[in-house]
Amino acid sequence: MFESNPGRSAGARLDPALAAMPMGRRLDELRRRMAAIPGKVGADAPATVAAHDLLPIPGPLGELLPSGGLMLGTVVACPRGAITSAILAAATSSGHQTAIVGEQFDRRRPSLIDIWEMGGTLERVALVDAAGADPAEIVSVLVDGVPVVVLAIPGLRLTPTQVETLRARVRGNRGLLVVTEGSWVRQPHLTIGCRLRGVGGIGRGLGRLSRIEMDVDVTSGQYARSGRLVLAASKDGRSRWIPAPTPAGLLRLAHTG
């Protein structure tokens, strides 16, 4: 199916890098390359994705993502914290069931309070304790009926066979797997990175944290976009993403060794 036809031009031959990949990863890479093709010459955004193939992410955060959201059937690498909570909030507020696979007493897993403050619906968030079990097997079962699964286990190691199996299950069920930890995630469809820049609301040793500013980077194949966002608290106890304002009022965090 993917072999070169001698009658074709050299430009039609399969990329050697693709030819060396397993079939599942090859298809993933082809989809990622197709998603990165601009809609027109000079455009920096990928071609439009059908609404039923996308989990929309509202606000400034979504504006950094290809087509304004996360493509279903893919694996996303994203650090723990506000971005992961924002994805869960967007999914649950849209009516999707979600699951967080982690360890019961791990305080670093996505916070339910954060998800609620960002507008999420906690009734649609299942907490799955993976202690003493096979996380890959748990995720494989969950993606049969849960559209969005977050795998948040520090130090997790998976074999290449397990990784390919997970990719195939996510792709076949048109789900979304968000992985927060682990170098085993080889070539995710999309990577979201963030760096804390500063906080606001704290006076001279007093006050309440009301704003968190961070730099967010999004990469997917040839697609790359960065922006500075602020997660700001509202008077109703909720929080929302806004574009970064002027630096006034933010406490800069110094980076040391």
Looking at residue 234, its pLDDT comes to 83
Q: Which of 192, 221, 252 is the last residue of a domain?
A: 192
With tokens 């804390």, the residue in question is: 196
Looking at residue 168, its pLDDT comes to 92
- Together in a domain, 178 and 206: no
Tell me, yes or no, whether 38 lies in a domain.
no
With tokens 């993976």, the residue in question is: 130
Looking at residue 158, its pLDDT comes to 86
Tell me, yes or no, whether 249 lies in a domain.
no
Looking at residue 120, its pLDDT comes to 95
- Together in a domain, 185 and 164: yes
- Together in a domain, 76 and 167: yes
- Together in a domain, 168 and 239: no
Looking at residue 7, its pLDDT comes to 43
Tell me, yes or no, whether 14 lies in a domain.
no
Tell me, yes or no, whether 106 lies in a domain.
yes
- Together in a domain, 144 and 224: no
Looking at residue 53, its pLDDT comes to 86
- Other Cβ atoms closer than 10 A to 199: 18
Q: What share of the chain is helix, strand, coil (3-state, %, to 5)?
A: 30, 30, 40
Looking at residue 45, its pLDDT comes to 43
pLDDT of residue 250 exceeding 70: no
Give the number of domains in the chain. Answer: 2
Most confidently modeled range among 3-12, 107-116, 121-130: 121-130
Tell me, yes or no, whether 4 lies in a domain.
no
pLDDT of residue 246 exceeding 80: no
Q: For 113-142, how does the pLDDT look when each residue is reduced to its tens digit (9 = 90+)?
A: 999 999 999 999 999 988 888 888 999 999
CATH number assigned to the domain comprising residue 172: 3.40.50.300
pLDDT of residue 82 exceeding 70: yes
pLDDT band at 89 (very low <50, low <70, confident <90, very high): very high
Looking at residue 206, its pLDDT comes to 52
- The beta strand positions in the chain, using DSSP E, are 54-56, 69-71, 74-77, 98-102, 125-129, 148-151, 176-179, 190-202, 207-220, 223-233, 239-243, 250-252
- Together in a domain, 201 and 106: no
Give me 81's structure tokens: 């914290």
Q: Which of 149, 168, 192 is the last residue of a domain?
A: 192
- Together in a domain, 67 and 124: yes
pLDDT of residue 86 exceeding 50: yes
pLDDT of residue 72 exceeding 80: yes
Burial of 257 (0-12, 13-18, 19+ CB in 10 A): exposed
- Together in a domain, 186 and 68: yes
- Together in a domain, 184 and 80: yes
Better-predicted residue by pLDDT, 24 or 174: 174
Tell me, yes or no, whether 1 lies in a domain.
no
Q: What is the DSSP letter of 134?
A: -
Quick one: average pLDDT of 95-104? Answer: 89
- Together in a domain, 146 and 176: yes
- Mean pLDDT of all residues in the chain? 79
pLDDT band at 10 (very low <50, low <70, confident <90, very high): very low
- Together in a domain, 180 and 66: yes
Better-predicted residue by pLDDT, 40 or 201: 201
Tell me, yes or no, whether 24 lies in a domain.
no
Please state, in angstroms and rounded to a whole number, the distance separating the CA atoms of residues 203 and 188: 41
Tell me, yes or no, whether 143 lies in a domain.
yes
Q: For 12-66, how does the pLDDT look when each residue is reduced to its tens digit (9 = 90+)?
A: 455 666 677 777 676 666 666 665 554 333 334 445 667 778 999 999 999 999 9
- Together in a domain, 147 and 132: yes
Residue-number span of the structural domain to which 206 is assigned: 193-243
Q: Which of 192, 210, 226 is the last residue of a domain?
A: 192
